[in-house]
């Protein structure tokens, strides 16, 4: 930790961290109820995010009525509010305390992929409980994770410290050489390629039928890291207070050698998982921010 993080300009961030630390020690049911209330408040106050979410849902679920879409948007904010509390929980939780909180489907798929010592690229999506699910997966499989550096240095320090407490290796997403080297060593690396990072190093591939920029990094990492692909998804069930983690592989050849085809397969696998629990995906992000040449912004 750098002493520069104690400068007064960072005190607001440290106050937020302190509040998150308090949230992390709340009982599970209190976290869920408080997170739900937090999400409902966010729905009313965060007009820009509400607009983005409403646009995403209209594009991706045109078969739903206006009333169904509106309800889904509200449910998404509740899920994201709960997810905010889950993030705080994940940064400081004792991993062993999560063992009775989740079940796993398809663990044999992951074990089969790792049998010959070959590296595995564990491809996931940005669901609202991403950090918490990562800890759960690490309890059944020794994994490394890839992340995007936080713009706030205090949060970058706290988040990265929390992840390094759990995972053997934590890679910033631009450190491709280290990720490739680790895959070649036979490690399993979690990578989420489902956000819009612009057209550079990306291709357009359908996501819920809408052309969406999808990074080609997954294909490159598998090829250069000589790794096998396994998809991971996860969802929360508030009725049982349990989480479910699922491992799967695509039915078609993957990687195929074609970047657009590979991006299409990735988006389809993530899309299939989202449809099981659509409110628990991070629709508050501008998934369709980058448009094909000549197309106007959808936001």
pLDDT digits (tens, 9 = 90+) for 176-186: 999 999 999 99
Q: Is 117 left (phi over 0), alpha (psi -120 to 50) or beta?
A: left
pLDDT in the model for residue 191: 94
Placement of tokens 């918490």 in the chain: 132
Mean pLDDT of 146-167: 87
pLDDT in the model for residue 108: 94
- Quickly list DSSP for 13-53: HHHHHHHHHHHHTS-HHHHHHHHHHHHHHHHHH-HHHHHHH
What is the spatial distance between Cα 138 and Cα 155, in angstroms, rounded to a whole number? Answer: 22
* Predicted confidence (pLDDT) per residue in 69-91, tens digit: 999 999 999 999 999 899 888 88
Residue 150 has pLDDT above 80, yes or no: yes
For the chain, domain boundaries: 97-280
* Predicted confidence (pLDDT) per residue in 200-251, tens digit: 889 999 999 999 999 999 999 999 999 999 999 999 998 888 999 999 998 8
CA distances from 142 to 35, 135, 137, 167, 240 (A): 30, 10, 8, 8, 27
* Predicted confidence (pLDDT) per residue in 247-299, tens digit: 999 888 888 889 999 999 999 999 999 999 999 999 999 999 999 998 999 99
Using alpha carbons, select from 219, 269, 262 the residue that is nearest to residue 248. Answer: 269
What pTM did the predictor assign?
0.91
């Amino acid at each position: 930790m750098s002493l520069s993080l104690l400068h007064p300009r960072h005190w607001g961030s440290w106050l937020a961290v302190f509040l998150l630390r308090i949230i992390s020690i709340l009982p599970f049911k209190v976290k869920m109820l408080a997170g739900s209330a937090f999400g409902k408040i966010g729905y009313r106050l965060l007009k820009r995010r509400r607009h983005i979410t409403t646009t995403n849902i209209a594009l991706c679920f045109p078969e739903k009525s206006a009333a169904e879409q509106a309800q889904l948007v509200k449910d998404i904010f509740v899920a994201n509010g709960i997810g905010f509390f889950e993030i705080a929980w994940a940064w400081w939780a004792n991993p062993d305390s999560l063992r009775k909180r989740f079940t796993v489907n398809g663990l044999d798929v992951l074990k089969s992929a790792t049998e010959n010592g070959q590296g595995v690229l564990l491809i996931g999506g940005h669901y609202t409980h991403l950090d918490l699910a990562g800890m759960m997966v690490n309890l059944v499989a020794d994994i490394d994770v890839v992340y995007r550096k936080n713009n706030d240095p205090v949060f970058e320090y706290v988040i990265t410290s929390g992840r390094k407490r759990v995972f053997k290796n934590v890679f910033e997403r631009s450190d491709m050489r280290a990720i490739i080297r680790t895959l070649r060593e036979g490690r399993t690396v979690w990578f989420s390629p489902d956000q819009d990072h612009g057209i550079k190093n990306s291709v357009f591939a359908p996501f819920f039928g809408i052309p969406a920029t999808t990074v080609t990094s997954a294909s490159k990492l598998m090829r250069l890291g000589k790794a096998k692909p396994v998809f991971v998804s996860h969802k929360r069930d508030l009725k049982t207070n349990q989480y479910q983690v699922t491992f799967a592989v695509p039915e078609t050849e993957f990687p195929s050698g074609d970047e657009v085809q590979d991006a299409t397969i990735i988006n389809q696998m993530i899309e299939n998982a989202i449809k099981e629990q659509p409110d628990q995906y991070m629709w508050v992000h501008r998934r369709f921010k980058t448009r094909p040449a000549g197309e106007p912004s959808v936001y």
